[in-house]
Homo-oligomer: A and B are copies of this chain.
Amino acid sequence: MKSGSPIADLCSIERTLQIVGERWSLLVLREVLLYGHSKFGDIERSLTIAPNVLSERLATMVDAGVLEKHEYREAGSRARFSYHPTDAGRDLIIVLAALQQWGDDHNAPEGGVTVTRSLGDSPARVAIVDSSRRAHDLDDLRFSPTAAYVRAR
């Protein structure tokens, strides 16, 4: 994704979007992280994405350290690669969960929620937590730019 604003490189939001901000990126990640798809063809079929596009999206995410390729070989055919999240990639699941939660809460599909998030048998939500891991109200959250950052804008 093209850089964008003047502070593109300083802002972590923008830097993350440079990796996963393309139209298909987060959907590819949905396939890998939520549905456990790892083979090229599985992702391709599930998304009906053009193969060159999928190839490119996978490559940029591999380059960015979000996914990694594992070689595998099925009986009688050549070596292939499957695509798996790195630890960093796995952390992006929270972005997907946040997008999903907002959609569920404010723009739910016709027939109601289609995919639920759970922790054991209780529902899971994405929230802002303090250092003792307790959730707070969104209104309590503050963003504080550093002096250097303010100067740059």
Q: Mark A93-128, 1 if CB is under 8 A from B, else 0.
A: 111111111111111111101111111101111111
CA distance A116 to B94 in the complex (A): 18
Contact of A102 among B94, B127, B148 (CB under 8 A): B94
Known contacts A13-B30, A127-B133, A114 near B149 by CB under 8 Å: yes
Residues of B within 8 A of A126 (CB): 94, 98, 126-129
CA distance A102 to B95 in the complex (A): 8
CA distance A114 to B44 in the complex (A): 37
Contact of A144 among B30, B65, B116, B130 (CB under 8 A): B116
Question: Would you list which residues of chain A between 65 and 115 have a CB under 8 Å from chain B?
Answer: 65, 88, 90-111, 113-115
> Which residues from chain A sit less than 8 Å from chain B, CB to CB?
1-2, 4-6, 9-17, 19, 21, 23-24, 26-27, 30, 34-35, 46-49, 64-65, 88, 90-111, 113-120, 122-131, 133-136, 138, 140-146, 148-149, 153
